[in-house]
Structure formats: C-alpha cells, structure tokens
Amino acid sequence: MNTSHPYIWNYLPLAFQLLVAVGLAGGMVVGSYFIGKKRASKVKAGAYECGMEPVGDARGRFSVRFYMVAMLFILFDVEAVFMLPWAVIYRQLPHITGSRFFGFWEMIVYLGFVAVGLFYVWKKGVLDWSQDKADL
C-alpha cells in the first residue's frame, strides 16, 4: 500500500468518471435546448400514447388478475436469477459441499417449491384470462 498520498485520492478516478458523466449529460441537455426548434403546436402539446390517439380516462381500473400476473412474472424472473449462479458453479459443488449430489437435490427441492406455486395459481385460475371481463 502506497502511503505517500491520502487514501481518499484512490477515489479520484471515480470522481473524474462521475464528473464526465454529469458534464456530458448536462451538455447534451443544454445543447439540445439551444439547438432545438421551439415551435409549439397542438400536436406537440397533445398526449402521446405509442402512436395511438388517447381515448378514455387515464385513471381506468385494472383487473386484479393483471397484478397477479405481474407478480408471477417477478417470481419466475427471480427464479431464473437464483438458478444462474447455481448453474455456473454446478461442477464445483461436489468439491464445495463434500457431497456428489447435494447441489442437484437442492435445486430439485427449489424447483419443486416453484412448481407447487405454479400449480396453485394455475388451479386458482389466475392464468386463465378468458374468464376475465373486468377491464374490457
């Protein structure tokens, strides 16, 4: 460890990177303000909804099923995040745990819990959108 300068100086490259990032972002915003055209029109002031004319109230109600599917998506997304590190070190697991099939059976138990949850929501009808008429 080099003690010829204070420890805080080790953060100097990070400070420069943050300074460049903030300066670049600010420069683009200020540059677009000065360079861009400023012609107001009814079309520019109107709401933009993916190329479609906005119809109805923006505060419309969504079915609870919509939120259930969103939570299920997050659940299975997190499942994939937990499976990736396991897959990366799968071949080293016998050396880490001392047992040949410990990592395999642990993942089987984990996937079993996920399968029970999927079976539960399937039987509850959360995934059957044909019955949902709440937000039509």
Amino acid at 79: E
- Tens of each residue's pLDDT in the chain, 136 residues: 555 778 888 899 999 999 999 999 999 999 999 998 888 888 777 777 677 766 777 677 777 777 878 888 888 888 888 888 889 999 998 998 888 899 899 999 999 988 998 888 888 877 777 766 555 4
The residue length of the chain stands at 136
Task: Name the H helices within the chain.
Answer: 12-35, 42-45, 64-88, 93-97, 102-124
118/124 Cα distance (integer angstroms):
10
5 class by beta-carbon count within 10 Å (0-12 exposed, 13-18 middle, 19+ buried): exposed
pTM of the full predicted structure? 0.49
